[in-house]
Amino acid sequence: MRNRNIALMALIGAAVSGGLVGCKDKPSATQPATGASGGGSNSNTTTAADRPVTTAAGNTVSGNEILIGEFASMTGDTATFGQGTHNGIQLAIDEVNAKGGIKGKQLKLVMLDDESKAEKAQTVVTKLCSDDKVIAILGEVASTRSLRGGAICQKYGVPMITPSSTNPAVTKLGDCVFRVCFTDDFQAAVAAHFAFDQKYKNVAILKDIKSDYSVGFAKNFTDEYTKLGGKIAGEASYQAGDADFKAQLNTLKGSNPDAILIPGYYGEVGTIARQTKDVGLNVPLLGGDGWDSPS
C-alpha cells in the first residue's frame, strides 16, 4: 500500500495538465485574461490565480481553486484500497498546495465514495463531471469500477487517471482514460513464470466470475502458463461477498493441483486461505496485486 501511495504523488500534476489541455479528440480553448476597467496603474493587470481557463470539458476554472475529482471505495468490500489511495492523493495535493499550487491556484479535492460498487461508481463520476465540474478525476482502484467511471469521463471529455486498475480494457475506453500501473497481462505472465519455475506443473484457478480484474488475470495467466508447458488442473468460481468456498475448494482438491491461483481481492482471499486448510487442501496459493491490503 505504501508503494501505491507514493505512486500517487506523480498523478496530481499529470491530472491537472490533462484537465487544462484536454483529451486529444476533444475541443480545447484557453480564455484570455481580461483586466479590470478604470482605476490606477495596476487596474488592468491580473495574477495567474485570477485568470480563468476553459477546460476540454467546457468547465471554466476561475478564482483561486482548481477542482480535482476522486472516486474511491471508502466503504464496502475493498475499503482499504480506497482509503489508502485517498490518503496518498490528499498527501500529494497538500504538498502541491504548500508549494504554491498550480498556475497560482490551489487544488481542491472533491472525493465521492462509490461504496465498492460498480453501479455507484458510474453515478458518482457522472456527478463529478456534470455537477461538480471537476477538471480531472483520479480513481478507481478496481478495474470493474474504473471501466464504469472511465466511460463517463470519456463521454464528458474529462481526463481520468487510475492509480491501480490493471485490466487492459480500462485504457481502451478512449483517449481520456489513463493509468500509472502495470496491466494484468504483465503481472499474470510474471505469476505464470513464477509458478512454472517453482515446478508447479498443475495449477488450479479459483476466480471471481463477476470481476473484470479476476477474469482477465485468470485468462492471461492461463495463456502464458500453458505456453510454458504447464497444465490447468481445474477451475472454479465465486462472486464477491461470498463467505463459503468449501464446495469449490473440494472440487479443486479432486484435481490434485500443485498450487492454486486466486486472482481476487483481499476480502475473499483471506477467507479462502483459511478454508483451504479446513478442507485439507495444503498447497501454495498464488495471487496478484488484489491481495495488497493490511487486512
Contact (Cβ atoms closer than 8 angstroms) between residue 261 and residue 206: yes
Please give the pLDDT value at position 23. Answer: 76
Please give the pLDDT value at position 38. Answer: 33
> What's the pTM?
0.76
DSSP 8-state code for residue 232: E
Of 125, 98, 122, 99, which Cα lies nearest the Cα of 111? 125
Measured CA to CA, the distance from residue 129 to residue 186 in angstroms comes to 32
Work out the end-to-end distance of the chain between its first and last CA atoms, rounded to an integer number of angstroms: 11
Measured CA to CA, the distance from residue 234 to residue 257 in angstroms comes to 8
User: β-strand 136-138 against 160-162: which pairing, if any?
Assistant: parallel
DSSP 8-state code for residue 105: B
User: β-strand 65-72 against 285-286: which pairing, if any?
Assistant: unpaired
Which range has the worst mean pLDDT, 17-26, 61-70, 188-197, 215-224? Answer: 17-26
Contact residues for 253 (Cβ-Cβ < 8 A; gap 6+): 279, 280, 281
Q: Output the nine-digit C-alpha cell for 111.
A: 472525493
Q: Output the nine-digit C-alpha cell for 25.
A: 479528440
Which range has the worst mean pLDDT, 34-43, 45-54, 96-105, 145-154? Answer: 34-43
- Per-residue pLDDT reduced to its tens digit, 4-29: 444 444 555 556 555 555 675 443 33
Is residue 34 predicted with pLDDT exceeding 90? Answer: no
Of 67, 63, 74, which Cα lies nearest the Cα of 16? 67
